[in-house]
Amino acid sequence: KAGYDLTFAIAYLRDFALNYNILGESFETFVPWSKLTRVIEATKRKIYSEHKRRALPGAPFVCSRVTQLYDDGVCVYFYFCMNICGVGEPSDIFAEIERSARQEILDNGGSLSHHHGLGKLRSAFVRQIYSQGHVDSIIAVKEALDPINVFGARNGMFSIITKDGNQTVGS
C-alpha cells in the first residue's frame, strides 16, 4: 500500500525537489520475466554512464520497483533524479538521458511503455517499434474516423504527421 501511495506523491515530491535544484521523474515499462534483471541493471548503468559522460554535478539517484505482476512479466517503474545546480539547459539534458534509458530498455527486451502510452515524449521511437504497415494502418483509421482532426493532439504515432500530411519522425 505504501508503494502505491507513493505513486500519487511523486509529482508533489518532484515539484518540492526543484526548489533544491533536483530534477526528477519516473518512467515505466513492461518487461518479460526472463529479461527483468538484465533490463533493470542495464538501464541503471546507462543512466549512470550518461550522467558521468556529461560531467554533471554529484551522482544521480536511480532506482526501480516492480508495481504489477503478470504471467508473462512485470511493470517496472524507474525513478531518476539529478542535481541541476549550475547545469545549462537542465530539462534538455535530463530528457536526453531519459531517452537513452528508454533506448536501453528497448535494446534489452523491455517495452516502450506499460500503460502510459506513447505520447509526445516517446513518439521518436515509433518507427523502431512498429512496422511501416502498422503505422500506415493506424493513421488510415485515424483519418477515416477523424477527417477534420478534432482529436488532433499529435501524440504517439500521430505526432509524426505534419499539418500537410507528411510523416516526419524516423523518415
Q: Which residues are catalytic?
A: 77
Is 28 in contact with 64 (CB distance < 8 Å)? Answer: no
Q: What is the DSSP letter of 25?
A: E
Burial 98-134 (b: 16+ CB within 10 A, else e): bebbbbbbeebbbbbbbeeebeebbbbbbbeebeeee
How big is the CA angle at 128 (ends 124 and 132), to the nearest 5 degrees? 100
Residue recorded with cell 519522425? 169
Bridge partners of residue 64, in order along the sequence: 78
